[in-house]
């Protein structure tokens, strides 16, 4: 299975359920959309089910997804799909008997109800397969029954976790959605099998059959014909088959059919006819000319299969892939298809203001009814060629003709300003924020950028994308994507490396400490953190960089006795992993905690988040030193510095770099030094780049200097 991790104790698990957020609804809708697109594209069933499992696992970190089906012949369950589970896990689950001790999945099928097991090691529902839970470290398991069209259980969809926990409403909705999708896939697989059956039946006259004479008068039909058409044999004998014509085909269709029969002795194709009750029937029909021993045609044989239900099913799948299930509007996938044409178009995105508040205050049922109401209003009142819902609280209006976007937006604003929306006796005043774009390329992207710009200006605003003014934002986005890819690859390939910059003791005139700095190595080139730190912050990868730097610098510093400092971010403190990880690496490499200085930005100490302060205090008690980095750049909360018992103050480089020619920088630095000396906190001056600056540093009595004047960052320590 996936990398096993230690199960957390039950006391560590929060049992407080929180409502499903719009973003979480979007994540479930994205899974549904992804899978339906694969179905609509005629993907293989095994690939679709594997993708469903993988997408579900991404929404519950530290878990694996599995789909099990009941064998009708034996009544036992086996794994149908579980891409992240090793073969040993598949084998262990083979022939599982549904029952009260058969685990979450066995119980889900046995009771035909969802099963949410928080602790598989103690829960009675796992008594028969407890060894499996222990062997594979499955601490919790939530299972949802998969049902057929008669609501009978035919299998289960499960998320198994490597830690004890209970599902939030979001996870229950995810399980319910996934199980429903699997049920639909199973039904669709049956339909696809029928297609092959229809082809074989047509060749062997096993389906509906009509035989006519050389004048094309019906002389024989079989029972399947009567069942399909609703006519009795007596009602059709002697009649021309044109009595079934639906008038959906023109004269050319029939002339081409008969030309093929006369020239090639056969014809096959899809045809729409009419039943006895007047309803239409879609058929795949094969017509063959039958000859006597003199090669003279004397009969015609028509063999057909009823494709009506199959066509309906296929249309339903396509509708689900291209239509929003709640409002019936076109969805984002369909909108993207519409935007592919080369014609000039106008696209207006409308984001419902305060929709998350409406969901929270009144519940999701009211929120859903509101979305349906808004969809109807937008579709019927503003002359858009297409109206779409592209995510939970966002709509799109597409106009093919050249319109005045500002005027159209004003009409929408006025409509909703003067109209109250009433849902279940709740009166709501609705407004939107608008983003628009005109052209034929990148309309959805450009209008989304415009919507973002509008939101930054406040609610109920319109922003129209301007190619000249807003293309810079797109360029920055492309740059961010490149940097993000660079960072992901560097982390996975171990190319995030530490550099070391010496810190000079101004009393002994020797370098006695080093600051560890993060770099990326790529094809022999060293990449500065200025190119990847911001993407790392936005992607939530700063803790991964910190871990890599701690591991590699501890390994490197194990061969000497220098003190060294490592930069710690607010993201690291929020993850609450530092104490455990540092202790682990301390033991692994034999590094004494007293050698390590943890540098935090001034803003972290000044904000003073309760959990952050607690962690810093624990780290101090463990023997690590704490330094405030870039002191003087932000809040300068002197009281918090004293409360934390800070070991070092690093004076912000912006004051040091021009201290020899800027009186303001000098006075600010002097004030910081005065405070530090009274508090008995040593200072480190950053960005000491020449002798003139160093002299002032020494005159002010600053204990340490750091900068290119003494040491440039290097993968090795200076001699």
pTM of the model: 0.42
Name, in order, each residue with C-beta under 8 angstroms of 95's C-beta and a sequence gap of 6 or more: 74, 76, 77, 78
Distance (Å) of CA 247 to CA 253, 278, 283, 310, 600: 11, 12, 14, 21, 79
User: Is residue 663 a contact partner of residue 698, using CB atoms and an 8 Å limit?
Assistant: no
pLDDT tens digits for range 228-282: 888 988 999 999 999 999 888 998 998 999 998 888 888 988 889 998 998 888 8
Name, in order, each residue with C-beta under 8 angstroms of 61's C-beta and a sequence gap of 6 or more: none
CATH architecture of the region 323-465: 2-Layer Sandwich (3.30)
Distance (Å) of CA 377 to CA 213, 348, 352, 370, 565: 59, 15, 13, 11, 61
Radius of gyration (Cα) for the chain, nearest Å?
A: 35
Percent of residues, the chain, with pLDDT higher than 90: 52
Query: Quick one: angle between helices 364-381 and 405-418, nearest 10?
Result: 130
Backbone angles phi, psi at 583, to 5 degrees: -60, -40
Q: What is 481-706's CATH number?
A: 3.20.20.450
With 70 as the cut, is the pLDDT of residue 17 above it?
Answer: no
Integer Cα distance of 231 and 145 in angstroms: 42
Give the DSSP letter string of 208-251.
Answer: EEEEEETT--EEEE-HHHHHHH---HHHHTTS-GGGGB-S-S-H
Structural tokens at position 338 = 């519409």
Bridge partners (DSSP) of residue 511 are 504
What is the fold, at CATH topology level, of the domain defined by 204-311?
A: Beta-Lactamase (3.30.450)
What's the confidence (pLDDT) of residue 35?
A: 81
pLDDT tens digits for range 514-545: 999 999 999 989 999 888 888 888 778 899 99
Q: How many beta carbons lie within 10 A of that of residue 699, not counting itself?
A: 9
What's the confidence (pLDDT) of residue 537?
A: 83
Structural tokens at position 705 = 């200097």
pLDDT tens digits for range 665-688: 999 999 999 999 999 999 999 999
Q: What is 10-191's CATH number?
A: 3.30.450.40
pLDDT tens digits for range 393-445: 999 999 998 899 999 999 999 999 888 899 998 989 899 999 999 998 889 99
With 90 as the cut, is the pLDDT of residue 124 above it?
Answer: yes
pLDDT tens digits for range 553-588: 999 999 999 999 999 998 899 889 999 999 999 999
Q: How far is it between the farthest Cα atoms of the chain?
A: 122
Integer Cα distance of 258 and 279 in angstroms: 25
Angle ∠(74,78,82) on CA atoms, nearest 5: 165
User: Is residue 704 a contact partner of residue 683, using CB atoms and an 8 Å limit?
Assistant: yes
Backbone angles phi, psi at 498, to 5 degrees: -90, 140
Q: List, in sequence order, the alpha helices (H) in 608-659.
A: 610-621, 638-643, 653-656
Chain centre distance of CA 22: 13
The closest of 63, 19, 31, 83 to 165, measured between CA atoms, is 63
Q: Any idea where the domains of the chain sit in the sequence?
A: 10-191, 204-311, 323-465, 481-706
H or E stretch covering 218:
strand 218-221
With 60 as the cut, is the pLDDT of residue 163 above it?
Answer: yes
Same fold, 10-191 and 204-311: yes
Integer Cα distance of 440 and 451 in angstroms: 18
- Please tell me the total number of residues recorded for the chain in this structure: 719
With 60 as the cut, is the pLDDT of residue 204 above it?
Answer: no
The answer to which of 216-230, 489-503, 600-614 has the lowest mean pLDDT is 600-614
Name the pLDDT band for 115 (thresholds 50, 70, 90).
Answer: very high
């Amino acid at each position: 299975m996936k990398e096993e991790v230690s199960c957390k104790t039950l006391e560590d698990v929060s049992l407080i359920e929180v409502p499903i957020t719009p973003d979480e609804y979007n994540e479930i809708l994205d899974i549904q959309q992804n899978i339906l697109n694969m179905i609509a594209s005629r993907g293989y069933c095994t690939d679709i089910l594997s993708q469903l499992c993988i997408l579900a696992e991404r929404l519950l970190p530290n878990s694996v997804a599995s789909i099990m089906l009941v064998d009708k012949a034996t009544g036992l369950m086996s794994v149908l799909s579980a891409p992240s589970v090793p073969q040993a896990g598949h084998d262990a689950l083979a022939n599982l008997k549904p029952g009260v001790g058969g685990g979450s999945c066995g119980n889900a099928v046995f009771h035909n109800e969802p099963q949410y097991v928080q602790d598989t090691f103690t829960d009675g529902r796992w008594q028969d397969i407890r060894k499996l839970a222990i062997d594979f470290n499955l601490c919790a398991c939530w299972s949802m029954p998969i049902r057929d069209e008669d609501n009978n259980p035919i299998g289960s969809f499960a998320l198994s976790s490597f830690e004890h926990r209970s599902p939030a409403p979001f996870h229950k909705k995810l399980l319910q959605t996934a199980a429903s999708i699997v049920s639909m896939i199973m039904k669709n697989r049956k339909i696809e099998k029928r297609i092959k059956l229809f082809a074989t039946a047509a060749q062997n006259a096993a389906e509906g059959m009509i035989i006519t004479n050389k004048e094309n008068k019906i002389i024989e039909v079989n029972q399947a014909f009567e069942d399909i058409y609703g006519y009795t044999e007596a009602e059709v004998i002697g009649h021309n088959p044109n009595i079934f014509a639906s008038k959906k085909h023109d004269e050319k269709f029939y002339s081409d059919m008969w030309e093929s029969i006369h020239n090639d002795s056969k014809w096959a194709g899809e045809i729409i006819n009419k039943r006895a009750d007047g309803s239409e029937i879609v058929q795949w029909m094969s017509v063959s000319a039958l000859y006597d021993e003199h090669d003279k045609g004397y009969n015609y044989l028509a063999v057909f299969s009823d494709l009506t239900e199959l066509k309906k099913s296929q249309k339903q799948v396509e509708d689900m892939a291209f239509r929003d299930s709640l409002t019936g509007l076109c969805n984002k996938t369909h909108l993207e298809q519409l935007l592919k044409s080369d014609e000039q178009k106008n696209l207006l995105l409308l984001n419902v203001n305060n929709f998350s508040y409406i969901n929270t205050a009144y519940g999701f049922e009211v929120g859903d009814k509101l979305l349906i109401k808004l969809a109807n209003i937008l579709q019927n009142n503003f002359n858009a060629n297409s109206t779409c819902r592209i995510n939970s609280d966002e709509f799109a209006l597409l106009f093919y003709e050249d319109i005045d976007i500002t005027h159209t937006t004003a009409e929408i604003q006025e409509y909703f300003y003067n109209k109250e929306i009433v849902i279940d006796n709740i009166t709501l005043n609705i407004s939107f924020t608008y983003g628009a774009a005109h052209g034929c390329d990148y309309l959805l992207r450009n209008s989304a950028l415009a919507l973002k710009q509008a939101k930054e200006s406040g609610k109920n605003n319109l922003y129209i994308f301007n190619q000249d003014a807003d293309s810079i934002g797109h360029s920055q986005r492309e740059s961010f994507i490149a940097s993000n890819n660079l960072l992901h690859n560097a982390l996975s390939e171990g190319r995030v490396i530490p550099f070391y910059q010496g810190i000079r003791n101004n009393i002994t005139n020797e370098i006695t400490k080093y600051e560890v700095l993060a770099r990326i190595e790529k094809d022999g080139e060293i990449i500065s953190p200025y190119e990847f730190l911001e993407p790392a912050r936005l992607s939530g990868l700063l803790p991964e960089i910190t871990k890599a730097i701690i591991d590699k610098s501890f390994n490197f510093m194990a061969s000497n006795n220098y003190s060294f400092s490592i930069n710690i971010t607010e993201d690291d403190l929020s993850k609450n992993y530092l104490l455990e990880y540092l202790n682990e690496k301390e033991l692994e490499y034999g590094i004494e905690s007293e050698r390590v200085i943890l540098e935090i930005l001034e803003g972290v100490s000044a904000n003073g988040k309760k959990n952050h302060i607690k962690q810093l205090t624990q780290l101090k008690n463990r023997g690590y030193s704490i330094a405030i980095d870039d002191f003087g750049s932000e809040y300068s909360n002197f009281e918090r510095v004293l409360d934390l018992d800070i070991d070092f103050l690093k004076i912000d480089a912006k004051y040091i770099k021009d201290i020899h020619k800027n009186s303001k920088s000098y006075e600010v630095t002097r004030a910081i030094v005065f405070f530090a000396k009274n508090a008995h906190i040593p200072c480190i001056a950053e960005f000491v780049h020449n002798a003139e600056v160093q002299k002032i540093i020494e005159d002010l009595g600053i204990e340490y200097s750091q900068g290119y004047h003494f040491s440039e960052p290097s993968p090795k320590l200076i001699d």
